[in-house]
Structure formats: structure tokens, C-alpha cells
Chain A
Amino acid sequence: MVEQETEPFLFSKANSTLAKQIVARYPKGRQASAVLPLLDLAQRQSGGWLPQSAMRYVAEYLEMPEIRVYEVATFYTMFNLKPVGKHLVQVCTTTPCWLRGSGDLMDLCRRKLGVEKGQTTPDGVFTVVEVECLGACVNAPMVQINDDFYEDLSVEAFDGILENLTAGKTVKTGSALGRMSNPYRKGE
């Protein structure tokens, strides 16, 4: 990969304090252990993705070779190495969700947002990706948008969520059916 031309990266004041706390959790000389949380911090600060400048900054911050940071960042799929939209819509398509209709959710994304998986809407609001099991099979089908799970989705419920997000309204997270602790669903 050629070198990206990105703006230089620096931790914000708040993140700087946080980073210091994180590094302090590890024994002296083992600060490289903090690479995952620090990359996460950097990703959040850069708007949901990791520019090369941020990875280099983390490498320098933890006194480790740059390539060791690149190795980590490219290994974990939750680090985005390309810019993503404001809302990263991660649709689970593993078997349980698929059986419960995740295909329809993907279709809805295609119809409503006009993007294929892996693409970002032209206005930069949504990026749709397909992910493997996120461990909420009991409330399948489910979608993760940024840090929140949206479960028990029907096409209508998902449509509403996308609608509200587009309008910039707050959205209720968790089960669309209002279930708590996965109780038995009547009639099923």
C-alpha cells in the first residue's frame, strides 16, 4: 500500500488523559500491550476509521515498530482502514440471522440507501457492511449500528430505525419487540 496523505494525528486532550490511564494498566516496558485500546481510541477520534497517520501515532506513542501496529490493525475486522459513514450499519448474515430474515434487511439497505455491502452513501451518512455472528442469535435477526445492537428486527422496524437515523433523531436500541433477557415469545 502506498503512503496515505492524511492529516497528522494527535490525541485530543480528553483522549490523551484516557490513553495515559490505559497505558498505566500494563507493567512498565510492556506498554505495547495497550495497542488495541489505543487504536480503538484513535479510531473513535478520527470518525470511525484509522488513517495511517493515526496508526503511526499510536506506534510512536507506545514505542513500537510501525509494522507491529499495522499487523494488529489489519488483523482485526473492527478496525476500519478506509473512511466510513457516520453510521456504520453492520448486518449479521450468519445462519441464525439469515434464517430469521437477514436477507430482507440487506435488501432494504440496498433499496433504501442505494448502496451495496461495503459501500458508503454519497452523503456519507451510512456505510453498510456484512458481518459474521455477533452473538445475539437468540434475538435474530440483528444489526449493529456503530456501538449499539438492534435486535428482533422486522423489515418495517429496521426501516424505521434507518428513517430516524437519517432524520438525526435518537433511536431506541436493543430489541424492537421490547424484549428483555430473551424471554419465550408467545405463539412460537
Chain B
Amino acid sequence: MPKMIINNQEFEFEPGMTILQVAEQAGVEVPVFCYHPKLSIAGNCRMCLVEVEKSPKPVASCSMPAVEGMVVHTNTPSVEKARKGVLEFLLINHPLDCPICDQGGECDLQDITMQYGPSTSRFEENKRAVADKNFGPLIKTHMTRCIHCTRCVRFADEIAGVPELGGTGRGEHMEIGTYVEKAISSELSGNMVDICPVGALTSRPYAFKGRSWELTSTESIDVHDALGANIRVDSRTGEVMRILPIRNDAVNEEWLADKSRYSYDGLKRQRLDRPYLRNAKGQLEEVSWEKAFEATALKLKASKPEKIAALVGDLVDVESMFTLKKLFQGLKIPNYDCRLDGSSYPVSPAFKGDFTFNTGMLGIEEQADVCLIIGCALRTDAPLVNARLRKRYLSHGLQVAHVGVPFESTFPLDHLGDEASLLADILEGKHPFSKVLKKAKYPMIIIGNEALTRPDGGELHAMAKAIAAQYNMVREGWNGFNVLHSAASRMGGLLMGFIPENGALPTKDILAKAEKGELDVLYLLGADELPETCLEKPFVIYQGHHGEVGAMHADVIFPGAAYTEKDALYVNIEGRVQQANRAIFPPHEAKDDWKIIRALSDYVGAGLNFVNLSDVRAALSIENPSFSLLNISQPGPLSTVSKTLPKVGDQKFKPKALSYYMTNVIARHSVTMANCVRDLTGGVHD
């Protein structure tokens, strides 16, 4: 490897690295504004100037390639002077409004000014002022503070794939904006707030709410989609103040989708904070935990096991599901299903590959060359998976085709049609796209919810597997078969076998029976996306954190904890088991969900003997050891493909009923998300 000298010390580097990257790797600090490791290099802030021997002028280290034998100094008086000068120019038009700026305390410009800046200004003329722009309900702008680093412009162009931002005008009149006023139409727009090195773009919902040094940060896992992005929950006095991403290159890089970032205000509204029981008058009445448990136990004991069923919602953690499964097993109740979306393709925890996103995020980024998407609006179902595909498209020209409801993509997407019958043509080599798949070295297939929740979802799943087998997508060293779930709880549930076995009822049948009144008790663990007609006849036990459809029709309510309020495991689409941590406590009498079920066990005599969370996790690991391996993507084997050709119906794919900003209870109770629906999708929030 070539070597270069920085500050009299020799460092090795990979060819192609810039001086700045070598310095960063060596631990030599160079101040930057416009440089961002995930974006293209612009070199326009000039803050990273360093001295290179034999070069007559200071050099912008972010854009200068490192060369064998180069001698660089970053701490000489001339470098110091250059940085001081650059900073003074940047500050000329920057308002000194740190006390009223939301970036204060976590501002690159503030920090670097503390280190290199002058203590007073020599500039006596008028500062320029720039009109603020309207970037929509998520981003608040204060454009006078902008230092024209163009990070947001490059982010919109490269990562988000919505080239709507630019620098218009020239010289002193240059402004960053959209020119013609419009909100940023990206579901990744919140990340612009993170990458803005000054206070020009700040979070609108968080405006004037708090200071960075008052917040307690808790590392956790996001549950708003199934990717399990790594997040940091910033809280203050028992309240979630904001949510930011944490860098994890294997999962979310350093991005976070808007729903995950901004729906936290939904955690403060319409919360279930004490147990309720429906009284003789048919009204829900506040009761003690004991009374709620007693009433529930009475009902459970009085009903026949086959007339009892449980459904779990999209945000439920692994431990709660597991405890509920154990409770039901203890009571010999067979009917439970974690697939609230109604999908019913055959799964077995032994063939994990059948329901996992096997390629993984890194597989997309490093190898994939052709991708077929079936029944999935990737951009809204999993914005960060979509961003990975775009990244691969930009770096290696990933070719993507799509069968399903058309959606606006951020990379060239060959929309083959929305009839499921196309898949048979692709399988048999009759479709032109078959040739592309045949030639591909690392082809992959993604099958999503639009397909799997259809009545013929099982056949479509089999069809996707057959296509994967036909085009050699699953082989030694490459697994291109991917199922994209839409709920954070799904992978965990499938993996622990929270599915009906030996003829027990799946979701569809449970709901049908409930509607007909053939079911006595329905246990809903955070399940709200259900038709109301199914909840009228049975005795409904609702355990969850928001009062919505489920709680409205419940006969007894157990208040549970939201994802920010408990230590819990979640499994992401890649089979990566990740741990969420408690940032704040659940409100009032609400409790961790697994504890509620454990307590209920004593009333019904189900024999659960977990004392603490580690007991639950230990029992879980014994049943399925993959739960004990944290933070590793765990693809699995696929079941064999049946020889007979699956019979796929030829009806068209149907679009999802719920808007991206409204897919779960937390988002549905968030004012910010309602504003997004109003301003960004042109829809009306109901």
C-alpha cells in the first residue's frame, strides 16, 4: 500500500483515498463543512485546507487525492491562518443568532468557530439576508444561516433521488432552494436536517423544544418499518423529544425514514395508561390490574380453548409475543397468528430463508446486478431498502424491474405490468426480462406485501421461489431470494413460530369466525388494523399502547408499553436480532407487555415462571438459538421448490389502503404525520 506523511508521521492508505480520508483514518482532525462521507465531494467550503509540501498554495484536502510520498501538514501556522481566513469569510453573512438557533449546541459551525474563529467580527457592512423557504411540514428553514455547503442539494440528488434542490442565483445572490416553491417530496427528507452543518435546516416539529445538552440519549431500534433502523431516542423528563438515526452501515447507513423520525409525537396522544373493563352498562370503566386480570381469567377459563384466539400487531416485540405464545400453549389454545396482514404462505422456522430478506443490505450494495420486485411499493414500504437499491444503481447500474402497482421510483424502474400472470411468463422464459435475468451474475428477487397478502399469496410466494431457482438466484455464496415484510414484529413472530400449526386457525379464519360469533375470546396484542365488524361479537382483550380500533371494541384493556418504553428484541427483515432499550417509562399504570402476560398467567394457571426479561430471552434462545445472536444478519435455508408449477390467479395487484404516513397506531396519532398527509400526499387525514 502507498504511504504518505501527515504531520511527520507515516501512514498507509488505499489508492484512491483523498488526503482528508487518510487524515481521518489516522486520527488527524481536519475541520470540514461541505465534505460528507456518504455524499459526492464538492470541495466548496474550503475549510479543510492543508499544507502540502511542494505545493505553492494551501490544498483542499477533501478533494485532493493522496499520492505516494506526499508530505502534508495540518497544524502549521499557515494552515491555521488559512482556516481562520476561510471561517471569517463564512461568518461574514452568517447571523450571530446562536441563542435562538435550534442547532445551537450541536452545530458544526459553532464548534469550529470556537476552535478557529475570531472572537470578534471585523465586518462592519450590512449582512445579507435570505428569505426563508417552505420545505414542507418536516423541515424548518432559516436560509440566512446557510453557508452554501450544498450537502442538502447533494443528498436530494444522490441519496433521496429527488433532484429538487439547487443553488440559484450567483455570487452574493446565491440561494439554496427549490426556486419554485414546493415541499421536498421525499420520505428521507428529515436526513437533510442531520447533514446540515449549520442551523439553516432544522427539524420543524422539534423547533424551540429543547437543547441538545438537556437530552438523554438512548440507543434503540426503529419499528415503523421492518428494516429495524438503528436509532437514538433523545428524551427529557420522561418525554421523547426527538429521534435520530445512529450509523450502522449494515442496516440503515446513517439515514432514517421520515415516519420513523417524526412520528414520535404520536407516542404522547391517546395512550392507554390504565386498565379498563367493560361494565354492565357496556361502558369501559377504569379498574385495577387485579380486577382486569380476574375478569379476563374468568372468561378465559369459561371458554373452550378452540374458541379462543390471539392476533399480534405490527409493532410488537419478540419477548411479548413469546410470552403470549407460551401462555397460549400452557392453556392448550392452538389459535394464534402473527401475520395480521392476512398473508398465509407456508412458513416454518426451520426454513428461515423462505421469509427472510436473504440478500441483506450489504448484498445489495456490494453484489446485486439485476433485481425483480414483485408486489411491493419499495419506496414507501421500506424507504431505506429503496435507498440501497438506488445506491447500487448509481455505483454499478443495477437494473430493476417491477411487477405490481406502479409507484414513483427513485431509480430507473422497468414496470413490466401489474398482472400476476406475468410471473409465469418470466419463469418460463417467455418474457423479454427473462433474458436479462439469465445473463445476470447476481440476480435478486423481492416479494412484498401486495403479493403475499393476496388470496393466492401462497402461490405467488411459490412462484417467486420458482423464479429464484430457475435463474440460479440461490446458490453457494449468493442468496437472491427476498421477502420484504412491512411490519417490525413479523420476522420475530415467524421465527419463533407464532403461527397456527396442525390445523389451527390462521388470521383470515380467526377473523371470519369472530365476525360470525363463533369465537368466544379474541386476544389482541397491539393489533389494530382489523375490520371493526370482527370485534363486535367476541370478548376482546386488547393489550397495547394506543386507544384505537382494538381498544374501542375491547372488553378488557391492558395498557402496554410503546417501543421507546421497554427493553425488547426486534428481528429485522434480514433476520438480524436487535435490541431496543428503554428510553422513558410507560405512562401511569402501563407496563412492559411481557410482564402483563406473565402476570395474567398466574390468574389462569398457565404456569409461566419467568421472573425477569433474561428468563424470557433464555427460554427463547433454547427454542430457537438464532435469538441469542444479536446484530448479525442471519439468512437461512430455503425449502425445496415444488416441481408442479404454482397456479397464480391473473387478477391485478391492488394498491395499499394506508398512506405511507399512516401505517401504524403511533403514526396515526401523530400530528406531524397528519400534516405530511395533508401537505405532501395531497390527501385528507381522516
Residues of A within 8 A of B168 (CB): 67, 70-71, 74-75
Instruction: Tell me which residues from 1 to 26 in chain A have a Cβ below 8 Å from any Cβ of chain B.
Output: 1-3
Chain B nearest CB from A75 CB (Å) reads 5
Contact A65 B169 (CB under 8 A): no
Chain A interface category by residue count:
10 to 19
Alpha-carbon distance A68/B153, docked complex (angstroms): 11
List the B residue with the shortest CB-CB distance to A64: B163
Alpha-carbon distance A173/B179, docked complex (angstroms): 38
Chain A nearest CB from B376 CB (Å) reads 26
Instruction: Tell me which residues from 91 to 144 in chain A have a Cβ below 8 Å from any Cβ of chain B.
Output: none
The residue from B164, B165, B179 contacting A74, defined by CB atoms under 8 A apart = B179
- A90 interface hit (Cβ, 8 Å): no
- B166 interface hit (Cβ, 8 Å): yes
Alpha-carbon distance A65/B170, docked complex (angstroms): 19
- A52 interface hit (Cβ, 8 Å): yes
- B180 interface hit (Cβ, 8 Å): yes
Chain A nearest CB from B591 CB (Å) reads 51
Between B163, B169, B170, B179, the greatest number of chain A beta carbons within 10 A of the residue's beta carbon is seen for B179
Residues of B within 8 A of A52 (CB): 180
Residues of B within 8 A of A3 (CB): 180-181
List the A residue with the shortest CB-CB distance to B182: A3
Alpha-carbon distance A75/B166, docked complex (angstroms): 11
Contact B167 A2 (CB under 8 A): no
- B interface residues, how many (CB within 8 angstroms): 12
Known contacts A74-B169, A75-B169, A75-B170; A68 and B163 CB within 8 A of each other: yes
Chain A nearest CB from B408 CB (Å) reads 14
Residues of A within 8 A of B453 (CB): none
List the B residue with the shortest CB-CB distance to A56: B180
Between A3, A67, A70, A75, the greatest number of chain B beta carbons within 10 A of the residue's beta carbon is seen for A67
Instruction: Tell me which residues from 153 to 185 in chain B have a Cβ below 8 Å from any Cβ of chain A.
Output: 163-170, 178-181
Alpha-carbon distance A70/B175, docked complex (angstroms): 12
Contact A2 B180 (CB under 8 A): yes
Contact B180 A65 (CB under 8 A): no
Contact A68 B166 (CB under 8 A): yes
Contact A71 B164 (CB under 8 A): no
Chain B nearest CB from A9 CB (Å) reads 15
Alpha-carbon distance A52/B166, docked complex (angstroms): 16
Contact A67 B170 (CB under 8 A): no
Alpha-carbon distance A130/B180, docked complex (angstroms): 27
List the A residue with the shortest CB-CB distance to B175: A74
Contact A71 B181 (CB under 8 A): no
List the A residue with the shortest CB-CB distance to B134: A2
Residues of B within 8 A of A67 (CB): 163-166, 168, 178-179
Chain A nearest CB from B674 CB (Å) reads 25
Residues of A within 8 A of B167 (CB): 71
Known contacts A74-B170, A75-B169; A65 and B164 CB within 8 A of each other: yes
Alpha-carbon distance A67/B168, docked complex (angstroms): 8
In the complex, per-residue mask of A67-79: 1 if CB is within 8 Å of any chain B CB, else 0 = 1101100110100
Residues of B within 8 A of A66 (CB): 179-180
Alpha-carbon distance A75/B163, docked complex (angstroms): 18
Known contacts A65-B163, A75-B170; A70 and B179 CB within 8 A of each other: yes
List the A residue with the shortest CB-CB distance to B153: A67
Contact B166 A71 (CB under 8 A): yes
Chain B nearest CB from A97 CB (Å) reads 22
Residues of A within 8 A of B164 (CB): 65, 67
Contact B166 A1 (CB under 8 A): no
Alpha-carbon distance A77/B168, docked complex (angstroms): 12
Alpha-carbon distance A66/B164, docked complex (angstroms): 7
Chain B nearest CB from A72 CB (Å) reads 9
Contact B170 A1 (CB under 8 A): no
Chain B nearest CB from A133 CB (Å) reads 16
Chain B nearest CB from A105 CB (Å) reads 26
Residues of A within 8 A of B169 (CB): 74-75
In the complex, per-residue mask of B71-87: 1 if CB is within 8 Å of any chain A CB, else 0 = 00000000000000000
Residues of B within 8 A of A70 (CB): 166, 168, 179-180
Residues of A within 8 A of B166 (CB): 67-68, 70-71
List the A residue with the shortest CB-CB distance to B162: A65
Residues of B within 8 A of A71 (CB): 166-168, 179
Alpha-carbon distance A96/B180, docked complex (angstroms): 39
Alpha-carbon distance A52/B164, docked complex (angstroms): 15
Alpha-carbon distance A84/B566, docked complex (angstroms): 65
The residue from A1, A65, A74, A77 contacting B181, defined by CB atoms under 8 A apart = A1
Chain A nearest CB from B602 CB (Å) reads 63
Alpha-carbon distance A3/B180, docked complex (angstroms): 6
Alpha-carbon distance A1/B173, docked complex (angstroms): 14
List the A residue with the shortest CB-CB distance to B168: A74
Chain A nearest CB from B318 CB (Å) reads 43
Alpha-carbon distance A75/B181, docked complex (angstroms): 18
Residues of A within 8 A of B165 (CB): 67
Contact B163 A1 (CB under 8 A): no
Residues of B within 8 A of A1 (CB): 179-181
Chain B nearest CB from A5 CB (Å) reads 12
Alpha-carbon distance A66/B169, docked complex (angstroms): 15
Instruction: Tell me which residues from 234 to 262 in chain B have a Cβ below 8 Å from any Cβ of chain A.
Output: none
Which 6 residue pairs are nearest across A and B when measured between Cβ atoms? A65-B163, A67-B166, A70-B179, A74-B168, A71-B166, A75-B170
Q: A67-B166, A70-B168, A74-B168 are in contact. List 10 more A-B contacts (CB 8 A).
A: A3-B180, A52-B180, A65-B163, A65-B164, A66-B179, A67-B178, A68-B166, A70-B179, A71-B166, A71-B179
25 A/B residue pairs, CB under 8 Å, sorted by A? A1-B179, A2-B181, A3-B180, A3-B181, A52-B180, A65-B163, A65-B164, A66-B180, A67-B163, A67-B164, A67-B166, A67-B178, A67-B179, A68-B163, A70-B168, A70-B179, A70-B180, A71-B166, A71-B167, A71-B168, A74-B169, A74-B170, A75-B169, A75-B170, A77-B170
